Amino acid sequence: MRCVRCALHVFANYLIGLREGLEAALVVGILVAYLVKTGRGALLWRIWAGVATAILISLVFGALLTFGPRGLTFEAQELIGGSLSIVAVALVTWMIFWMARAARGLSGELRLQVDRAIDAGPWALAVVALLAVGREGLETALFLWAATQAATAGGGGTTQPLLGALLGIVTATVLGYLIYRGALRLNLRRFFTWTGAFLIVVAAGVLSYGVHDLQEAGVLPGLHNLLFDVSDTIDPGSWYGTLLKGVFNFSPATTVLAAAVWVFYLVPTLTLFLVKLRRPAEEPNRAAATAAT
């Protein structure tokens, strides 16, 4: 069962790394392609300087999240962990909806930023790449840390989730390069739909875990007010217990507040996400029908 748990943690973080990495790879690909096509290939090093800086900042941020809270009291660690988990969920939720809304116009927006950066000064182009990739990197580091904390609370290790995330980022880099070279056509709308829905489910578990952390820190009440305790029925080490923990961050002993937060985040957020994705497909059809009349 330990192998099953590790595999679920690896897969969950693999998809997180794949989605976030592909977003960053697409942004870099757009920036590079625009410079090359407009005959400004000599400026590419500025893009790569910004990308390298963004990666370094993200790694340092991840290290601070991992090693910073050590040595603090249990309550302080739970307070920091719970607060950062909630921040991570807020950021990843914003990112999912932003990508669903802005994906179609992203290329034109980035090209406009490149033109403005070139006119602004020699290092402005590096700043554009730094901000574009750094935002994804910081969001990824924070959400991966929160997801890993939630996963390891169930008895897993930290190596497997981080390995999954790294494999996802590597896969995203290869896919981004193949898309840039024209060797691969990927249905990005379908990709971001499925991974977005999956991330919302993962985020619900991370949010519930964060609330439980704040309860253990004494910030939120109801730590001993359990909605249910099925520890005698559902063995966390069983295959179904592992599956529930890996996918939904399910805990056999769940407080009323943690369960309520999970439901009230997941149901409306997933519903709004799916409704928002349907609108772009319906609007062109409505416009075509109007034009025909």
Model pLDDT for residues 266-283, shown as the tens digit of each residue = 999 999 998 887 765 444
- Rounded to two decimals, the pTM is 0.73
Average pLDDT, the chain: 79
| DSSP code per residue over 40-81 | -GGGHHHHHHHHHHHHHHHHHHHHHHHHTTTTS-HHHHHHHH
Give percent above pLDDT 90 in the chain. Answer: 11
Task: Give bridge partners of residue 84 from the DSSP assignment.
Answer: none
Residues contacting 29, CB < 8 A, separation 6+:
176, 177, 179, 180
Residue 187 is part of which domain span? Answer: 2-292
Number of domains in the chain: 1
Q: What confidence category does residue 154 fall into, taking pLDDT thresholds of 50, 70 and 90?
A: low
Model pLDDT for residues 31-69, shown as the tens digit of each residue = 888 888 888 888 889 889 999 999 999 889 888 887 777
